[in-house]
Every structure is written in C-alpha cells, then in structure tokens.
C-alpha cells in the first residue's frame, strides 16, 4: 500500500516533466488546471465513500460477516453523487472552457471523464482496504500513475502536441488499476445480512464536508493563481504548479509511512489499548513535524537549483520556501485532524477544514497585490488556522477522555486528502 502511494506520487513529477517537454510550459497550463481541479473534485466527493465502504467492510470482516450488502449500498450512492456532479460540470462546461482551460473543450471533457473514472477507483480502493487487500490497494494507486506516465511518454515520442490527448490520459488512467484488480478477483465480496443505511453513512456528511474543503485547500494554490493570472501569464500557472508539486514530497512520504502504520494502529484501537494508541499517534506526529521542518529547510537551501533541474525553474527561493512551509503546516494539520476523527470528532474536522478554506479565500483577497505572494501567504495562514482549530479540538476530546475504536481509527487513517 505504501509502495503504491509512493509510485503514485513519483509519477506525478514524471508526468509534469514529460508533459512540459512535449507541450511547452505555456501550452501545458490547461493540463495544470485540469490536474488540480481533478484532485479537488474526485477525492472531495469520493474519498468519504471509500472511507465508509472500507470501515463498514472491515467491521464486518472482523465479525466474520460477508460484506457484499455494503458494496450494494455504497456503489449506487456513488453513482448518484457522480451523476449530480457531472450534470453540474456539464452545465458550467462553457464557462470552464473559456475561463479556466484556455478554450480547450477537450480539457473540460477530460475533467468530466476523470471525475467519472475516479468514482469506481475510489470504490475499488474502499473494497480493497476494507477486505484487507492492501497489495491490491497499492496496485490501484500505482497503476494509475504508471499508465499515465507511460502514455505521456508515448505521446511525446510520437510528436503529438494536442492538449486534449494529454487531458485524456489524466481522465482514463484511473481505470487501469481497477481493471487489473478486478480481473484478479480482488474486488469480490461474500454475501451477508442486509446492510441498513445507518451502517454505511453515520459520518458521511461530515466526512464529505471535510474531504471537499481539505482537498480544496491543498490544491487551492494553483487554482487561485489560474483565476487571478492575466491571459499573458499562462506560464506562471505552470511554474506555480511545478512548485506546489515539489513542495509535496514530504506529504507523499508522510502518507506512505502512515499507510504502513494503519493495520497496527487499527488493532490497538480495536483492543482498547488507549495508551499505546496515543503513543503511536504521538510518534507519528513527531515524524510529521520532523519531515515538514526538513522539507522547509531543504526548499530554502536547495529549492531553486532542484526546480531548475526538474522543471527549468520559474520560481524564486521565497516562493519555494513559502510553499514548503504551507505544505508542512498542512501536513501537521492533517495528522492532527486524523487524530480528532479517531476520537469521533468528525464534525469538528469538517468545520475546521471549512473554516480554513474561508481563511484562504479572505487572505488571498486581502494579503497582497503580488500574484504569487498573496497566494503563498493564504496557503500558510489557512493551514495554520486549521492546525490551531484541530489542536484545540484534540485537546478538548482528550480531556473528556474520549477513546478511539477500530471504526473511527480506520476512518482517520484513510483520510488522505492529497492525491496526484
């Protein structure tokens, strides 16, 4: 599972590198916009379904009960959510094409298709995690990235410079991993007693709010730059997107380490070993803070030459350091939010991410006139706001003596808001 997350993360850098070699930085701008929009919408709407599917299946598996009724409940719900959002995207497709995707209608279509294909991808991941098939989960994650990169290299070598072709790679590659694990029978579930809605949706609303706002915040920077930039500043959108990806290296490492700890922490929660569980989370947070601090220092010291090597530069030391700092604070906030979810604080997490998104918008509006600086400040302050809110929430829950259980811990450790 951790390997799949690492492959998915590394493939993002490769796709951006090859894509910019093939199209150029200016022409790659609609792909940057598509990328970050996709990873707001898809995890925002479908990650909660993945979490609840996985939690309910894991609970039944622990009791020796078949989980097929869970799948039969969640899959149609995913279809309804997908259909509603697709209708909304189609209604605003003209505006998106004109204002967001530089007039490329195929890129707008790519966004709609990508949102559609990530529905079965997240549901497949929910089945794999709930049934304890973590290798299959890693395949779903890793195959998506590998197929996207391989396809990008093929298009580049064939000399294809149609932006829409690269958009379709983002849109269709998620299905590759699903098809692989499905062909191996790793999405199969056993029959069991009927599942009431209360079994699969007790925290869905709060998880959905938190997922949408949390995924929106981590991807807000390039989207805000795209909205605020003038027509002559297309390259700046690509440069900023490159910098955001570079700043996420510690985030991908954090998620891979966390995935490796998931089974152990879930077992501790199921056994009611609160002291060991708290110790495990404390150790994880020490790692998170250390990795975040190291990433920020490294970006200050080596960020510009690394960006020059990977993507031919485009950002100065201040911007790279601010992006790394924002990512580091966000990572600590995410880890704290996961601890709050483990202590049944789903509503607090949803409200916290919503508040942080409002802080981002307000700060981006008022902070500065410089295109990059206003977004850099907004990313740091919004993540700080989330961290403070979640820290206070965690302290309050611990003072009250709230204890985690296997279900809440599962939801916490599968609350991964960084995709792509």
- Out of 202, 225, 244, pick the residue that ends a domain: 202
Q: How many domains does the chain have?
A: 2
Classify residue 87 as exposed, middle or buried by CB count within 10 Å of its CB (0-12, 13-18, 19+).
Answer: exposed
- The model carries a pTM of 0.92
| Same domain for 212 and 187 | no
Q: Are residues 236 and 337 in the same domain?
A: yes
More confident residue, 354 or 6: 354
CB neighbours of 116 closer than 8 A, spacing ≥ 6?
82, 86
Q: Are residues 133 and 251 in the same domain?
A: no
**Could you list the residue range(s) of the whole structural domain that residue 224 is in?**
204-420
**Are 166 and 244 within one domain?**
no
Over residues 41-71, the pLDDT tens digits come to: 999 999 999 999 999 998 899 899 999 999 9
- What is each CA distance from 290 to 214, 236, 295, in whole angstroms? 22, 31, 9
Query: Are 56 and 164 in a shared domain?
Result: yes
| pLDDT at site 295 | 92
User: 21-30, 209-218, 260-269: which has the minimum mean pLDDT?
Assistant: 260-269
The pair of three-digit structure tokens given for residue 125, joined into one six-digit string: 């991941």
Same-domain check for residues 197 and 272: no
- Above pLDDT 70, what percent of the chain? 94
Q: Do residues 321 and 299 touch, judged by C-beta distance below 8 A? A: yes
Residues 260 and 130 in one domain: no
Of 177, 202, 227, the residue that ends a domain is 202
């Amino acid at each position: 599972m951790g390997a799949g997350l690492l492959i998915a993360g590394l493939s993002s850098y490769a796709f951006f590198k090859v894509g910019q070699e093939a199209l150029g930085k200016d022409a790659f701008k609609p792909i940057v916009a598509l990328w970050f929009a996709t990873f707001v919408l898809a995890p925002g709407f479908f990650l909660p379904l993945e979490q609840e599917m996985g939690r309910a299946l894991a609970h039944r598996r622990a009791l020796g009960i078949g989980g097929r009724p869970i799948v039969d409940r969640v899959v149609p719900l995913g279809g309804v959510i997908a259909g509603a959002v697709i209708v909304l995207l189609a209604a605003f497709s003209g505006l998106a094409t004109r204002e967001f995707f530089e007039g490329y209608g195929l890129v707008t279509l790519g966004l709609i298709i990508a949102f559609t294909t990530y529905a079965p991808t997240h549901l497949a991941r929910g089945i794999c995690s709930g049934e304890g098939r973590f290798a299959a989960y890693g395949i779903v994650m890793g195959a998506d990235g590998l197929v996207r990169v391989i396809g990008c290299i093929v298009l580049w070598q064939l000399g294809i410079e149609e932006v829409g072709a690269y958009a379709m790679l983002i849109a269709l590659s998620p299905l590759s991993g699903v098809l692989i694990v499905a062909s191996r029978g790793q999405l199969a579930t056993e029959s069991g007693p009927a599942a009431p809605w209360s079994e699969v949706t007790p925290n869905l609303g709060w998880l959905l709010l938190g997922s949408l706002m949390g995924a929106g915040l981590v991807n807000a920077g390039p989207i805000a730059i795209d909205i605020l930039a003038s027509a002559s500043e297309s390259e700046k959108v690509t440069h900023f997107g490159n910098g955001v990806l570079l700043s996420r290296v510690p985030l991908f490492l954090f998620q891979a380490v966390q995935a490796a700890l998931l089974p152990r922490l879930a077992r501790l929660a199921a056994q009611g070993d609160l002291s060991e569980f708290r110790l495990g989370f404390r150790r994880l947070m020490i790692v998170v803070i250390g990795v975040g601090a190291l990433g920020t220092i490294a970006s200050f010291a080596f960020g510009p030459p690394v960006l020059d090597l990977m993507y031919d530069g485009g950002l100065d030391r201040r911007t790279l350091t601010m992006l790394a700092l924002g990512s580091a604070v966000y990572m600590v906030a995410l880890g704290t939010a996961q601890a709050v979810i483990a202590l049944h604080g789903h509503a607090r997490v949803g409200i916290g991410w919503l508040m942080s998104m409002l802080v981002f918008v307000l700060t981006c509006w008022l902070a500065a006139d410089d295109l990059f600086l206003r977004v850099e400040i907004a990313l740091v302050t919004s993540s700080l706001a989330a961290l403070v809110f979640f820290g206070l929430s965690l302290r309050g829950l611990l003072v009250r003596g709230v204890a985690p259980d296997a279900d809440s811990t599962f939801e916490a450790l599968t609350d991964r808001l960084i995709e792509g």
